[in-house]
Amino acid sequence: MSMLCTVYRISVEQAAKLRESPDTVDDLLGYKMPTPKAGILTKIFGERTRSTESPERSVDPITSADTFELDQAWHILHFLFSGGPAEGDWPASFLVCGGEHIGPDHGYGPVRLLAPDLAGEVARFLGTRSLQSLEDAYVPDRIDAAGIYWQASTQPELREQQVYELWSVVEGLRTFFEQTSGRGGAVLISIF
């Protein structure tokens, strides 16, 4: 099973509503709860009739325009930013720690809310990153020794390709955070 990361842009109003009702985070992120399995009594007596209407969501889900998918690159980026596999100094460690926990734990911890001030700090931090800083931090032996959720190549051509692909993700992430900060928005980070 893959561990993936998604970053979401939300408004200050949405952040306030999440603080008031943390369980609405699943609705906001568009998560669907799995259909419960039939129990033994249902198998014996049959299923009760249920309404065919789907339950209404308490909030509208975040749109794809306000979503940034890091997929499996989140852990290697955390390592390249912070120098370690877990935790680290703020804001370099923003992908795995910091902010406020919101809602239920879906297996890899609750969703984290970065308030507008923290989102701004991350935007400024990402603005200090360069292709050269990524290149310097991308040492396959150190990556493997740290147990990073990533397959770092030692072949020069493939290593260079990996670094450039990661740099492209960093540029997109920087733009996402700069736009969010420019709007005075907050960010949700979900690792699932």
Sign of the CA dihedral running 167, 169, 173, 175:
positive
The model's pLDDT over 34-73, given as tens digits with 9 standing for 90+, comes to 444 555 555 555 554 443 334 454 678 999 999 999 999 9
Q: What is the value of pTM for the model shown?
A: 0.85
Tokens describing residue 53:
């209407």
In angstroms, the CA 37 to CA 158 distance is 45
Q: In this structure, are residues 31 and 188 in contact, taking their beta carbons and an 8 Å threshold?
A: no
In angstroms, the CA 114 to CA 121 distance is 10
pLDDT of residue 2: 81
The residue whose two tokens read 């940034």 is 68
Q: Could you tell me the pLDDT band of residue 32, with boundaries at 50, 70 and 90?
A: low
Q: Could you tell me the pLDDT band of residue 31, with boundaries at 50, 70 and 90?
A: confident
pLDDT of residue 41: 52
